[in-house]
Amino acid sequence: MSPNRIRRTMTPNQIVAHNVARARELRRWTQEQAADALAPYLGARLSGPSFSALERSAWTPGRVKQFSADDLLALSRGFDLPVGYFLTPPSPEFDAGLHAPDAGVNGLDPIVLLDAVLGTPENLVHWEAKLRAYSASIAPMPKSKRRKPNVSPADLADRLGSALGSRGQSVLRQCVGEVDDAADVLERMAEVLRAWDQTAASATADKAVPGDTRSTVAMTSPRHDDDQGVPR
């Protein structure tokens, strides 16, 4: 980025709008098809111009679509994707900053948003405890036979493992690239370590002079507590 160029920044709402377009491409839907899929969960059907404006708001700072928690749930259900999908910033190569009240002109590192979505090793424990408590709770039987009781899957807390795995892969890619590249790097590192070990062993052997038993004696003779030669 040129030092004179102001970095592009995106609000969380713009990131959601950007990912609505990405989700529609993933499902290979037209805007009309996407509007139909979302209608039952939004409670109303977006018109063609409204859907188009929603997607364009990712790049028009003055007319950004404001998404509520209700909207995020509707997007997740309509596109059959996790809520976190819609809050995932563009890749680092896009070089966009995250706009927030405490950000400067160049925005925050977008990892701030991913930390908020995925959690961090320091704060995930609180979410895990809450999920385990949810799983351990049993909903009361409904009064009407036509309604099913709320479920509490036992694996809720275990699902966090996939989030931690994704974070680990992301860190690994930042350090060494793709997983295959990482495997190659680790294999080369193992070869270097073995070579160092062999070199160290050879150097130790070279220091021993043939016929000189002093080193052996020094290693095998008993230690003394004082100059009187009393064995310890």
Query: What is the model's pLDDT at position 216?
Result: 46
Where do the H-state alpha helices sit in 119-213?
124-136, 160-176, 179-207
Q: Does domain 1-118 have CATH number 3.30.1130.10?
A: no
Cβ density class 130-145: b for 16+ within 10 Å, e for less: ebeeebeeeeeeeeee
pLDDT of 100 reads 94
Angle, CA of 97, 102 and 105, to the nearest 5°: 45
Predicted local distance difference test score (pLDDT) of residue 69: 98
Ranges of the chain whose pLDDT falls below 70: 1-5, 162-183, 185, 195, 199-232
Report whether 157 contacts 131 (CB < 8 A): yes
Note whether 56 and 14 are within 8 A (CB): no
Q: Name residue, tokens 């040129």.
A: 2
Whether the predicted model's global pTM rises above the 0.75 cut = no
pLDDT of residue 209: 52
Q: How many other CB atoms sit within 10 Å of the CB of residue 159?
A: 11
CA pair distance 89, 215, nearest whole angstrom: 64
Angle between helices 48-56 and 31-42 (to 10 degrees): 100
The three-class DSSP label of residue 29 is coil
pLDDT of residue 202: 67
To 10 degrees, what angle do helices 160-176 and 179-207 make? 60
Q: What is the pLDDT of residue 170?
A: 58
CB 130 within 8 A of CB 143: no
